[in-house]
Amino acid sequence: MQIKRRASLKGKDALAGLFFSAPAFITLFLVVLFPFIYVIYISFFRKIFGAEAVFIGLGNYIETLRDPLFYHSFYVTSFYTAVAVALKLLCGLGLALLLSQNFRGRGIVRTICIIPWGLPLFVVAIIFWWFFDYRLGLANQLLSRLFHIRVSWLGADFALWAIIITNVWKGIPFFMVNFLGALQTVPQQLYDAAEIDGASAWNKFLHVTLPGIKYVVLVVCLLSTIWTFGEFDTVFFLTRGGPGYVTFVIPILIYYHAFSRFDLGIASTVSVLTVPLFLALIALILRELKE
């Protein structure tokens, strides 16, 4: 009888858990899984706004893989993502190491450094649109006074670097906060032992600090890569993919197909073609974490 009662209680607990978890699973399906499945479905159809969907099999994929603009956008996005994530990693780690030291006003400095992460993307884009303005922007005001030159930051030569700078400024606090937390978990005894062995500051960083925060670095870089690769707001507000196709990143290409050409089939296909890249990157990071 006691065994049956325990089994009955476990069954009730399972039902209660399922009942309370159901809203989260339903929301996840409606917000994430259903749109993803629908995008894959639409990628096999010729679907123009206001017209009937016509099944064409792999037609959209063949057309996209023959389109030079797709490869150009993929290259621009990859370069933008790689440089931005690398700079955020270096700057975020440097700030975390600096702010992990004891000095007067450290709490105030930490608070100020977090502010960019709390700003909405469109606000950041507007700030840097003014910052990079040719006539009134702060960047050119400083260059004009110091070196008597002006730079067309949003022109063809520097537009990509302008959006990289914007993304890096916005994303550094995310790296800094995570690295700062990870640094607190590295045992002080390891630093003391390295000090006794006569290790230099660089050797302590290389053999104590980096191994201690390795897994946090991998996860943060993975998340930042996914977010940066898919970032639309900053590029759209600052350059709209221009001048020409200089900053025509993948999200802008998807927007172009969906809302300029009104071709949901091609837009969905471009989205689906980026999925294997993310899956491979996630698999690589997970393998490193297991090791």
Could you give the CA distance from residue 275 to residue 273 in angstroms, rounded to a whole number?
6
Which band of pLDDT confidence, cut at 50, 70 and 90, is reported for residue 247? very high
- Provide the pLDDT for residue 192: 85
Helix (H, G, I), strand (E, B) or coil at 30: helix
The answer to whether the CB of 49 falls within 8 A of the CB of 262 is yes
User: Closest by alpha carbon to 254, among 282, 223, 222, 231?
Assistant: 231
User: Closest by alpha carbon to 183, among 97, 112, 109?
Assistant: 97
pLDDT averaged over the chain?
88
Which band of pLDDT confidence, cut at 50, 70 and 90, is reported for residue 217? very high
Mean pLDDT, residues 32-45 taken together: 89
- Provide the pLDDT for residue 147: 87
Q: Is 95 exposed, middle or buried (0-12, 13-18, 19+ CB in 10 A)?
A: buried
- Provide the pLDDT for residue 9: 47
Q: What is the pLDDT of residues 121-168, one digit of tens each?
A: 888 989 999 999 988 899 999 989 888 889 899 999 999 999 999 999
